[in-house]
Amino acid sequence: MGTEQLAEDSADVVVFLNDEKAVKQPEGFRCCPLGIQFFSEKPVEQYRIVSFRLEIPQGQNSSSVECAGTIVKSIRDDDSGMYRNWISFLDIPDEIRSDLECKSRESGLFCPYCQNY
């Protein structure tokens, strides 16, 4: 799994799952210090450990970090017709977690659980 961009507008975020086609994320995409909520065309196995790369915009450039997480939930979303998946970060470095907190607040991608984080 990889994300192409963590942008100011979630419509600019694209998620790649293995060799499947890229999925442009709808309005409900979230990325915060605790994890990622993303959409896919197929369900993802719950409790599966996944490795992924995040690209975080830094002005005109972006920083990239390799991460691991576990899929904690995968359910069909009636509004989008896609599967909504939640990943909990397992090993994200503190400096990246702090960067994600700032970027997700600025971009409106903060999840409801992190509103009090």
pLDDT at position 113 is 66
SS3 19: coil
The answer to whether the beta carbons of residues 63 and 92 sit under 8 Å apart is no
pLDDT at position 62 is 77
CATH at residue 90? 2.40.10
Question: pLDDT of 6-34, one tens digit each?
Answer: 444 444 788 888 777 888 988 888 888 88
Neighbours of 94 (CB within 10 A): 8
Positions of the chain with pLDDT under 70: 1-11, 112-117
Domain count, the chain: 1
Q: Residue 101's domain spans which residues?
A: 2-116
Give the pTM.
0.76
